[in-house]
Amino acid sequence: VMKLLSLIQPKCAFFGEKDYQQLIIIKKLVRDFNLNIRIHPVKTVRDKNGLALSSRNNLLNKDQKTKASKINTILKNFNGKKNQLHLIKKNLNLNGIYKIEYLEIRDEKCLEIYSSKGNKSKNYRIFIAVKIGKIRLIDNVRLLSK
Q: What is the pLDDT of residues 111-126, one digit of tens each?
A: 998 877 665 667 899 9
Mean pLDDT value of segment 46-67: 94
Q: Which helix (H) or strand (E) holds 110?
A: none
**How much is the pLDDT for 143?**
87
Classified as helix, coil or strand, 28 is: helix
Beta carbons within 10 angstroms of residue 109's beta carbon: 11
User: Which of the residue ranges 42-56, 68-82, 83-97, 102-116 would you say has the lowest mean pLDDT?
Assistant: 68-82
User: Which of the residue ranges 44-53, 71-80, 135-144 would you say has the lowest mean pLDDT?
Assistant: 71-80
pTM: 0.87
CA atoms within 13 A on the CB side of 137: 28
Mean pLDDT computed over every residue of the chain: 91
Q: How far apart are CA 131 and CA 26, in angstroms?
A: 25
**How much is the pLDDT for 114?**
85
Q: What is the pLDDT of residues 33-45, one digit of tens each?
A: 999 999 999 999 9
